[in-house]
């Protein structure tokens, strides 16, 4: 198969893609003898299962190619223009992460903003609780080819093809480290906000409830200006 890949600056790179790796085979006796409608329905059912098979080999591909890193390597990521990435976690780890993330008053179920990067969190049953991967969106593609034989249907796949040459390679993180760093970051934000609110309250002038001279009732006149209703006390600015 043939692929035309666009690379910066707007150059076209011609690639010949081999689609010769067997993804899955289904043995079906007398396939060619089936009615056309039956064969089409059977093919449609088989193709519905193919994405799950492709996802499994993609996870194996990530395990072989991802580079271990600490979360989040801003110095490394700052070399690239991209500010949005996919973060793949197991379902249970993603649930933990959002429980921590949303404890800071946020209400997100898919997107996390951290250190100026938008992280789209994805989950998969094939992922272990001890692994997490960071990938640029639409970085890889794969070609599939269906071949019908006399008594079987075979689906072949190509290698994963990198379409994002100007993006970092897949990175491997430790999920617990991600959760701990996000928790500490939210804790620091919450503490900073509390200190700011406390400082604002301390800077605000105290409200005068009783007259400081006679203890009588006072009347407020805009801002922090008062006068006493029972004696001659006031804190109004002097007239010039």
Greatest Cα pair distance in the chain: 109
Share of the chain above pLDDT 90, in %: 34
Higher pLDDT, 66 or 145: 66
Number of independent structural domains in the chain: 2
Looking at the fold, whether 185 and 230 belong to one and the same domain comes out as no
Do 179 and 214 lie in one domain? The reply is no
What span, in angstroms and rounded, lies between the C-alpha atoms of 110 and 133?
A: 15
For residue 226, how many other CB atoms are within 10 A of its CB?
Answer: 19
The mean pLDDT value for 112-123 works out to 90
Band of residue 46 on the pLDDT scale cut at 50, 70, 90: confident
Task: Using alpha carbons only, give the angle 66, 71, 74 rounded to the nearest 5 degrees.
Answer: 95
What sign does the CA torsion over 147, 148, 149, 154 have?
positive
Q: Virtual CA dihedral for 129, 131, 137, 139, nearest 10 degrees?
A: -140
Query: What is the C-alpha to C-alpha distance for residues 91 and 85, in angstroms, rounded to an integer?
Result: 18
Domain identity same for 67 and 147? yes
Q: CA-to-CA distance for 20 and 50, rounded, in angstroms?
A: 15
Provide the residue range defining the domain that includes 226.
207-235
Residues 44 and 152 in one domain: yes
Task: Say what the pLDDT of residue 6 is.
Answer: 41
Query: What is the pTM for the complete model shown?
Result: 0.70
Structural domain contains residue 240:
no
* 134, 109: one domain: yes
* pLDDT at res. 2: 42
What is the DSSP code (8-state) at residue 92?
H
217 plus 188 within the same structural domain: no
224 and 142 within one domain? no
Q: Is 201 among the domain residues?
A: no
Please indicate, yes or no, if residue 197 is contained in any of the structural domains: no
Q: Quickly tell me which residue has 């890889």 as its tokens.
A: 140
pLDDT higher than 60, residue 234 = yes
Question: Is 94 part of any domain?
Answer: yes
pLDDT of 199 > 70? The answer is: no
């Amino acid at each position: 198969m043939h692929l035309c890949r666009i690379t910066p600056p707007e150059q076209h790179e011609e690639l010949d893609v081999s689609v010769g790796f067997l993804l899955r085979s289904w043995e079906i006796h007398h396939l060619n003898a089936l009615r056309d409608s039956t064969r089409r329905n059977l093919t449609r059912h088989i193709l519905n299962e193919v994405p799950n098979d492709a996802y499994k080999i993609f996870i194996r591909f990530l395990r072989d190619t991802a580079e271990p890193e600490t979360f989040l390597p801003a110095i490394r990521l700052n070399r690239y223009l991209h500010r949005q990435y996919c973060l793949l976690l197991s379902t249970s780890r993603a649930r933990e992460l959002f429980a921590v993330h949303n404890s800071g008053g946020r209400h997100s179920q898919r997107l996390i903003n951290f250190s100026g990067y938008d992280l789209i969190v994805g989950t998969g049953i094939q992922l272990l609780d001890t692994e997490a991967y960071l990938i640029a969106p639409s970085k890889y593609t794969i070609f599939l080819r269906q071949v019908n034989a006399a008594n079987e249907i075979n689906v072949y796949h190509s290698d994963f093809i990198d379409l994002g040459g100007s993006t970092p390679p897949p990175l491997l993180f430790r999920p617990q480290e991600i959760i701990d760093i996000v928790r500490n970051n939210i804790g620091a934000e919450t503490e900073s906000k509390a200190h700011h609110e406390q400082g604002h309250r301390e800077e605000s002038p105290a409200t005068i409830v009783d007259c400081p001279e006679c203890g009588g009732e006072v009347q407020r006149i805009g801002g922090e200006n008062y006068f006493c209703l029972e004696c001659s006390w006031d804190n109004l600015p002097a007239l010039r």
